[in-house]
Structure 1
Amino acid sequence: MTTISSSWLGLPRPALLGLFLFFCAGFADGALVPFFPLWASSEADIPIGAIGLLFGCYAGGELVAAPLIGGVADRVGRRPVLILSSLGVGCGFLALFFIHGFAATAIVLILTGMCESVLHPTILTAIADVTEPSAHPRWFGMARVSSSAGQILGPACGALLALLSLSTVFLAAGGMLILGGVVMLAALGETIGSRRVGDRQEEEEEEGLSALLPALRDGRLAKLLLWVVLFEISGNWIEAVIPLYARDAGTLSPSGVGALFAYAAALTVGLQMLVSRFAGARSALWLTAGAGLSTIAAFVLLMASPATLSLIAAVSLCSMAQMLVGPLVPTAVNALAPAARRASYMAASSVAVDLKDSLGPSIGTALYALAPRLPWAAGIPLVAIASVGLGLAIGRARQVSGPATAEACFDAEAARPETPAAWSTGPAMEEYS
């Protein structure tokens, strides 16, 4: 235990705090997302076809804000952005407990989404600031593990709170992110200072919208993110549609839905690093094709039956797909980004996630309103095409960006430093940055 403790103490504090904030965000998502459709349809009396519009309001706030403030962490620093965005999202979730009606809910979700637009990309940027590029795949994999650990406790906590009232899950989700903001305020130091002075000068020369939306001027990134959006839209239907699908079929109660998604998160916690190590020797196309086949198999199971075993197998397969693809995308985006534009590039990649979070639930719930099995039938060809395109785009990004993003970068064993001190932010690390 002493050895383990000293090893963790030797790791860069901003990266560890970033993992903690990912845990808080994962807890909030896990406590909120599985129960939001049930709350909207039962307690808020919102039609099923309109639930996706509320999801779209949250993601729409992110889409509106990302072009304007997505790269703000490159100019004012990572620390203030993480503190304010955590507190803003937390207060937004708390506000959902007190409001009623479609219009008020939509306004709060838009404002909350604007705060959230910079949260995840800035966490990843702060981690990238203080770790070596060869270690990024492993750190991004650990970020997914931390988020999934929160998504175990979040649905479990939500399942208990749902026994009282579905709206109480908003209190748990908001409280956890406010806690994360307070911890960042007390313990996080600024990481932007590790960059070179020349990069700062370049940053000062490149202000404006073009600097905040690198996808407009980097065709490689734009193509990559296009395939990310297409691949993730249908995968998002699992999360958005299954609560309604299971309830209407009489398969699971709201608490059962929470337990199902907690189980899916537990799979990621237990297997993500093992899958990342296995994936290190595989090509991007091999990994995305495997993720696509796993998602298609999940859709086939859901089309066949809404039984409990089918639901468990489906979320297991989708979790495996995300474990294969999840660390690839931020690693590829970070490899394409200039050192002075890391936060801007990560913010551009978050736009792709925001589009998925907006279009996914909207399209999925609309298709479900037409026919319960239509989302699964429509998702099969979409996933098949998108998985191949995504793999080819990531492969081209590796080739263009040079040896720093070669397949060896994805080898977890090769990326592991000999000593924990190799991950610290000493003079050598600053010189490299």
Structure 2
Amino acid sequence: MKREVWIVSAIALVNSLSFTVLLPTLYPYGRQFGLNDFETSFLFSIFSIAQFIATPVIGQLSDRWGRRPLLLVSLAGTMLANLMAGLATAAWVLFLARFLDGITGGNNSVIQAVIADVTDAENRARGFSLFGAAFGVGFVLGPLISLGAQAISLGASFLVSAWIAGIALGVTYFFLPETLEERSQPRRFELGLAKLVTGLTIPKVGILLLINFLIGTTFTIFTYAFQPYFLNVLNQTPQSLALIFIVYGVLGVLMQTFGVPNLTKRFNLLLILFVALLIRSVAFLAMPIWPNVTYFVSITIFFSIFNSLVQPIINTLISLNVDAQQQGMAMGLNSSYLSISNGIGPVIAGVLIHQSNLASYGYPLYLAGACTFGVLLLAIQTRTKYAPS
């Protein structure tokens, strides 16, 4: 694997730490400011909606100006935003900080474009799995760091996240060379809804963008609902939440590092995707059946093992279906669709939850399971439209 892939994977690791440090903290931190469950869901959504607006622009700019400058701007924005959040004294400052982090936070699509720049088709799945593994290591170390920061305060997690983003900024500045050899020609940007609609018409890629949007929506219904269910129904603490994120992270790293490369050598990419979606659907439906912490953790551990396969496979399929000069654009569109799905999912979950009715905390999980099964049927039905040649 080329040196650049290892460098951006290291950047992805440090970058993911700045994100995953916040995962066990954001929901209880919002409640600390007096926000209810529905209002807290917007802390998750506003970040993603801002990313939705910005990511296609960042992807296009990286095709025109290079990968490195856009990574620098994005990481600087994350550092400043988390400083604001950690020092916030009012809820509106927290919302503003989450928006700023999102509007500058399109770096994952740029990192993926770097990987596509320096790998051939044969090694691309391995490159994306290494990126995923680096992000997965962040899911181990980030909650662990958050656990330590929570001993000071919930806001300290944001300050630690800002410091970590600063490390990623330094690694990018001093060690990452520019990987884009052929720049795209200057052209008028197609922004907003028009760009997203245009993306759906790209042969083979359009249907993958739609499928990934639906996958992302169902997944983020779960990722928001998981936290209030774990804390309020199962009566666990933010520290326990951080510990369970650590367990999921370890399993994700193992699958990204060993599972994806071995499975892609032995099985068809589409088969891996279909099996992973089926298991995801069944796991979502099973999670809220019995409000017992041992049962819930067991189901989610089983889920996390196979869930780690979905995004590397989708990213590989998209990358294999576009040419070298469009990798940044395609990855930017994909991240944008994921961002808007991340903005929709938490709000759907927040609408379904009623704090006076503990049973309602399980409703989003049932919905996520049923909808994921529908996405699986769509992916199977349309498979000839996006299968790599």
* Conserved 8 A contact 1:224-1:393: no
Aligned equivalent of 1:349, options 313, 328, 334: 334
1:224-235 aligned at under 5 Å gives the runs 224-235=208-219
Q: Does 1:31 align with 2:16?
A: no
Deviations 1:364-405, CA, capped at 9 Å, x for gaps? 222223711111221222010112323555553224xx3xxx
Match of 2:173 in 1: 185
Segment drifting more, 221-230 vs 300-309: 300-309
Write out aligned runs for 1:310-325 (5 A).
Answer: 310-325=295-310
Task: Please give the secondary structure, in 1, of the residue aligned with 2:208.
Answer: helix
Match of 1:122 among 84, 105, 110: 110
Give TM-score scaled by structure 1 length.
Answer: 0.82
Q: Which runs of 5+ in 1 are unaligned?
A: 1-10, 403-433
C-alpha separation in 2, matches of 1:185 and 1:325 = 31
Q: Which structure 2 residues correspond to residues 19-418 of structure 1 after superposition, within 5 A? A: 19-41=9-31, 43-117=32-106, 119-193=107-181, 195=182, 200=183, 203-204=184-185, 206-209=187-190, 215=199, 217-276=201-260, 277-369=262-354, 371-393=360-382, 395-399=384-388, 402=389
Normalising by the residue count of structure 2, what TM-score does the alignment of the two structures yield? Answer: 0.91
Q: Which moved more, 1:210-219 or 1:226-235?
A: 210-219
User: Which amino acid is the alignment partner of residue 241 of structure 1?
Assistant: A
Give per-residue Cα distances to partners, 1:20-54, cap 9 Å, x unaligned: 1111122122210221011111x111111111112
Q: Which has the larger Rg?
A: 1
CA distance in 2, matches of 1:206, 1:221: 21
Provide Cα deviations, 1:200-233, integer angstroms capped at 9, x if missing partner.
4xx2165421797661541532221111121222
CA distances 1:222-252 after superposition (whole Å, capped 9, x unpaired): 2211111212222223322222112112442
Structure 1 residue ranges, 4+ long, deviating more than 4 angstroms after superposition = 210-214, 391-395
User: Structure 1 pair 155/205, CA: closer, same or farther in 2 (3 Å)?
Assistant: closer
Which range moves more in the overlay, 386-395 or 130-139?
386-395
Show structure 2 runs of 5+ residues with no match. Answer: none
Q: Do the aligned residues in 1 keep the contact of 2:225 with 2:361 (CA within 8 Å)?
A: no
Q: 1:4 maps to which residue?
A: none
Percent identical among aligned pairs is: 19
The offset of 1:157, in angstroms, is 1.1
SS state at 2:34 partner: coil
Contact in 1 for aligned 2:17/2:142 (Cα 8 Å) = yes
Letter in 2 for 1:115: T
Counterpart-to-counterpart distance in 2, 1:391 and 1:378: 20
Structure 2 SS opposite 1:166: coil
Deviation string, structure 1 residues 58-109 (Cα, Å, up to 9, x no partner): 0111112234333100111111111111121122112101123333222221
Instruction: Work out the CA distance in 2 between the residues paired with 1:150 and 1:392.
Output: 35
Counterpart residue type for residue 61 of structure 2: V
Cα distance in 1 for residues equivalent to 2:6 and 2:346: 32
**Root-mean-square deviation over aligned CA pairs:** 2.1
